[in-house]
Amino acid sequence: MKKIVISQLWLYRHRFAIGYVVLGVAFTVMLFMMPIIAQAGISEAEMQSTTSSYALGKEGILNGDLVDLPYRLMQKLSILVFGLTPYAIKLPSIIIGLLLGFLLILLLNRWFKNNVSLLASTLVVLSTPFLFLAGSGTSLIMLVFWPTLLLWLGSKIQGENRPKPMYSFVFAIAMLMSIFTPFMIYFAVFCVVFVLVQPHLRFVLKNLPKLPLFIVAVIILGGFAVLGISIFHHPETIKGLLFTTDFHGGEYLGNIAKGFAPVFSWHNTIESVFLSPLISLPILALALIGLFSATKGFFASRNSIASILIVFTIVVTGFNPSAVVLIILPLSILTAHGLKYILEKWYGLFPSNPYARIFALLPLVILFSLMIIPGSLQYIYGYRYNPNIANEFSYDLEVIRENLTDEVLVAGEKFDFYQMLQDSMGMRVARTAEEGVKIVSERKAENAEATETLAYLGKPEKTPENYHLYRIVTSPMRENSDVVYIYVKSGAGTSTDAPS
């Protein structure tokens, strides 16, 4: 009987390729199902992002409206193609989240062995903060996307004896596009300083081909020159890129505390769009193990990058508490370090026994299943049923689209958002400041011909003159379930208090 050699089995030889394919398929399916399995409502930040994206035009770009330009262009295109729907609002983040997930996998695969990078990638891309970013229709995901892309491109340049000039050109273009995202100017400066200070990277820089290096420098400096000219003519742009438009210096330390509160909170009493804890305890423990296990080789590029990125995250969180999500990138690197340390110690117990090494997989599979599955379930159910989180998202858009389809008039502070329904659904949108937020539609009352109907988003202070309450449209997914108050015209009369 022929002896079975485990290392020659097809499944064994292709185990990592199979693992990456399974992870990629699961990750892709989960992302495109995001609006179905996770938060279905729209947050205030998503409404502001959508309004800003839709208002973007050629004149605005020429006049210096450059903040978050790449993301806003994608979001506007998505809304023009699919209409004003929650899925269209979130679609740019889903696409960028898909790219970001694969970039993280590629980056960890560049720096670590296949077994470490596969497990670390699975933990990160299926974690609560990553899935939240990919399901949120704001440009916040770009704050993680650009550094990850730049680090991966940098690893392709630094890790090759003769790096291809193409990677240098793409790196320059990516850095140029990234500076239109808030805080990324700091990261661009950080990259330049880090390359000049880090001995190994400085050596790599000296040995790069001179012509591609010169062209890259010209591209980067040219981009900064264009940005500088725009800022010179429109100084308000610099505040949006360096800080945020509503940032005040006295809030800096408070923003850091507010941003990191969901990271270290183990209960869900914090009013935030982030589900607490933002980083699960197992991943945090692995990251701490990775941090301490990598202290001996701190000056290796990947170790120092992870540590400095943590400091960078703290700095930018002072400008905007939501920027705490940037912690995903250094935690990914440190988690991989922690996994590397644990696997080396675990398999070091039986270095020469192949059967023991195979059976040792069972406790590892159980361990990582207990880390991955609860994290995904926390995201799916936490964002839907945790009251402190669910109330941060509005379901008014879905209610309006399902119940008001004829003629709509919206007024009040949300007018700029709901007027987009005029293009996507053919609704008439106008502003009536004296009557608050209002939606108008043609409806048929019971046993009556079509009559004029007023539909208010929220309970009005007074019943409209010559109207009576016909129906209240409710939503089961919010604290105050009454969303739309529909009134029909009843004849002559005077205004009275709205019925309860």
Q: How many CB atoms lie within 10 A of CB 410?
A: 27
Cα–Cα distance list, 294 to 101, 120, 196, 200, 452 (Å): 24, 16, 22, 17, 70
Tell me what pLDDT residue 142 has: 92
Output the pLDDT for position 148. Answer: 92
Q: How many CA atoms lie within 13 A of 416 on its CB side?
A: 13
Among 334, 369, 390, residue at a domain's last position: 390
What confidence score (pLDDT) does residue 496 get? 43
pLDDT at 446 over 70: no
280 and 189 in a common domain: yes
Pair 454, 471: CB distance under 8 Å: no
Rounded CA-CA distance 131/379 in Å is 7
Whether residue 417 is found in the same domain as residue 320: no
240 Cβ contact list (under 8 Å, min separation 6): 67, 182
Q: Name the domain boundary from 360, 390, 420.
A: 390
pTM for this entry: 0.83
Whole-number CA gyration radius for the chain: 27
475 and 351 housed in the same domain: no
What are the two backbone dihedrals, phi and then psi, of residue 58, each rounded to the nearest 5 degrees?
A: -60, -40
Q: Which of 34, 52, 147 is nearest to 98 (CA)?
A: 34
Last residue of a domain, one of 390, 405, 430: 390
Q: Which pLDDT score, from 0 to 100, does residue 13 have?
A: 64
Mind giving me the DSSP string for 351-364?
Answer: SS-HHHHHHTHHHH
The answer to the question of residue 1 being in a domain is no
Residue-level pLDDT at 146? 93
Residue 46 has pLDDT above 80, yes or no: yes
Residues in contact with 244: Cβ distance below 8 Å, sequence separation at least 6, in sequence order: 182, 319, 320
- Other C-beta atoms closer than 10 Å to the C-beta of 100 total 24
pLDDT of residue 439 exceeding 60, the answer is no
198 within 8 A of 242, measured Cβ to Cβ? no
Give buried/exposed letters for 321-331 (b at 16+ CB in 10 A, else e): bbbbbbbbbbb
The model's pLDDT over 324-348, given as tens digits with 9 standing for 90+, comes to 888 888 888 888 888 888 888 877 7
Instruction: Decide: 108 and 122 in contact? Cβ < 8 Å.
Output: no
Residue 415's domain comprises 395-497
Asked whether residue 264 falls in the same domain as residue 172, the answer is yes
In this structure, the answer to whether residues 342 and 431 fall within a common structural domain is no
* More confidently predicted of 25 and 422: 25
The whole-angstrom separation of Cα 102 and Cα 97 is 9
- In DSSP notation, 97-118 reads HHHHHHHHHHHHHHHS-HHHHH
Across 209-231, average pLDDT = 75
User: Would the pLDDT of 479 be above 70?
Assistant: no
pLDDT tops 90 at residue 96:
yes
Domain count, the chain: 2
For residues 179 and 173, give the distance between their C-alpha atoms in angstroms, rounded to a whole number: 10
Instruction: Pick the most confident of 73-82, 130-139, 418-427, 432-441.
Output: 73-82
Name residue, tokens 């730049």.
150
Q: Is the peptide bond before 277 cis (omega within 30 degrees of 0)?
A: yes
State whether 220 and 297 are in the same domain: yes
In this structure, the answer to whether residues 381 and 437 fall within a common structural domain is: no
